Amino acid sequence: MTLKVGVLGAGSWGTTVASLVSGKSPTQIWGRNPDTVREINEQRSNEQYLPGLKLSHKLTAVDDITQVIQNADLVVMGVPSKAFRETLMHVKAHIRPWVPIISLAKGFELETKFRMTQVIKEILPDHPCGVLTGPNLAREIAGGQAAASVLAMEEQNMLERLQPIFSNGLFRVYTNNDLVGCELGGALKNVIAIAAGMGDGAGAGDNTRSAVITRGLAEMTRLGVVMGGRPETFAGLAGMGDMLATCTSALSRNHHVGVELGKGRKLDDIIDEMNMVAEGVKSSRVVMELAEELDVDMPITREVFRVCHERSTARRAFRGLLRAEIGSEADPG
């Protein structure tokens, strides 16, 4: 049976995923802005988020979220983490029983420190849930460039059923039942990407970037394993793969924030000129709180938090990292 897919959120990644899956399954995307909805339907484009790129002619957009939910056999959440709970609460009364829900967001709920699938489980506990994550820069994928991703769920049968819906031509989707590890990898790497960007913006060089990424991956793995993820997950697409893309690409929002901070600009000014969310800024606070609660040493994350929330600077951040105690690379700290 062909599943009808409903995508909530017409940002860059939500629109890209909706365009991809519409090639195999009837797909509707909900957009908050009626002008964006009209543009997707009439022009096959979303210039605000994917300028210059054409979308699938099979994709239809609506501004009535209830219509999308009532028709959907599979719901894909493409809204940012800050709007995740509110959106789910709004559609709770209209979603049919047992419809699976897949998150595209890579962040935490600030108040609860929940991952997005934890939010789903709290609001809609009887619905299978998962995450699509990995080194997925929306503009490249929407433009037809090859990429790989990971669909993570705890229910193996559901994973196998949904995998073909998301796999499409040059977009290869692997499966993983380590939902915790995959979801944490997507959220934690955004913080390290800001650190890598700060080094690039300050002209620190390729060696520095390599060290930040590698030690950042070690930090991410330490916290992720303590929180229940598997070590091998962080060495795969949802961990190292996503980290590399986000820490090195000019298309990465979090890396962009870091670059501008490294140039000495103020965070508020950087955020104000962006039309997309850089999840790592807010996530850095949650990650530091989790690290302190679980007694996990995360020196790179600590310096990013200080820059984003305590008025430190990129220059002071790198001085702080140079002062950090060093030991064996094999040590857990």
| Sign for the pseudo-dihedral over CA of 201, 204, 209, 215 | negative
Q: Is 106 a catalytic residue?
A: no
pLDDT at 196: 94
- Confidence label for 224 from pLDDT (cuts 50, 70 and 90): very high
Q: Residues 59-109: pLDDT tens digits?
A: 999 999 999 999 999 999 999 999 999 999 999 999 999 999 999 999 999
Q: Which of 58, 121, 189, 266 is catalytic?
A: 189
pTM of the model: 0.93
Structural domains of the chain ordered from first start: 5-177 (3.40.50.720), 181-323 (1.10.1040.10)
